[in-house]
Amino acid sequence: MKEPRICFFDIDDTLWDFHMYLPESTREALAKLKENGHYVFLNSGRARAMIRDPKLFSLGFNGVVSGMGTMAEYVKEGLAGPEVREEDVLYYNKIPVELAARTIRTFRRYNIQPMCEGRNYLYFKESEFRDDDFSREIRKLFGSHLEDIDENENRWEISKFTTIATDGDREACFKELEADYDYVIHNDWLAEAVPKGFSKGTGIRKVAELLGIPLDRTVAFGDSVNDLPMLETAGTAVVMGNGSREAREKADYVTAPLKEDGIYKACRHLGLI
């Protein structure tokens, strides 16, 4: 048997599209990867509270890296599931309550709306968000795991932030907080604030170290800007054919688009299945 590799998969536009279409060939590829002795991990920018869909977990992951590398789980016996089990947590970086409170105050002072993302809950102030597509989708998908920011201050478990800045001064705000956070800018209103020193690449390094597998035997599959640290860290970087220009520039191999069996074709090309 070939030496085992750890394969890390982004979710959106890599494993499935925004309508949650998941090619059957992707399911087949992941099953064959495990049959061949490889590990398969999710590696998502989403905090763990946002990764709960049973359809996603039906792919049979050995573990989950979540929240831009701020948390990782590995299931020694069995497979990862929608709920977090304490015994499976390899590490978890929780933002101290004092720093989280200062961060939220700073966001609000600059008229930026924060959504706080944690292991079990998202903290969200209804009155701060407009009734737009983004907010409606958050409410629909995560309603049972949404909590009020202000009513839960002493019970926060926050690993990162998503920010909405439709009218606020994002540049000045992020400058004030730059000692504590790195930022992933998606567009002129949506961005993520991640604790300094954490990224999807951090997750790969930590998991590889804890499993005793060299980095050159890790493979990352992604498609977008927030995958860049993952693609730069892994021994082999695979980017979907539907991926962004920035991501494709970092690829060791650009595979077919998601809907054209890109995951399966990449695994075959690399000799993993």
Q: Which of 42-51, 124-133, 233-242 has the least mean pLDDT?
A: 124-133
**Residue with structure tokens 């054209």?**
260
Output DSSP code: residue 24: H
Contact 104, 114 (CB under 8 A): yes
**Read out DSSP for 182-233?**
EEEE-SSSEEEEEETT-SHHHHHHHHHHHHT--GGGEEEEE-SGGGHHHHHH
How far is 45 from 99, CA to CA, in rounded Å? 21
- CATH code: domain 97-195 is 3.30.1240.10
**pLDDT band at residue 269, thresholds of 50, 70 and 90?**
very high
How far is 123 from 110, CA to CA, in rounded Å? 19
Q: Do the bridges between strand 190-195 and strand 158-164 make them parallel or antiparallel, or are there none, so unpaired? A: antiparallel
Q: What is the mean pLDDT of residues 105-121?
A: 95
Comma-separated ranges of CATH 3.40.50.1000 domains in the chain: 6-93+198-269
pLDDT digits (tens, 9 = 90+) for 178-200: 999 999 998 999 999 999 999 99
Residue 138 pLDDT more than 90? Answer: no
Comma-separated ranges of CATH 3.30.1240.10 domains in the chain: 97-195
Q: What is the mean pLDDT of residues 233-240?
A: 98
pTM: 0.93
Question: Is pLDDT larger for residue 125 or for residue 259?
Answer: 259
Which CATH fold would you assign to the domain 6-93+198-269? Answer: Rossmann fold (3.40.50)
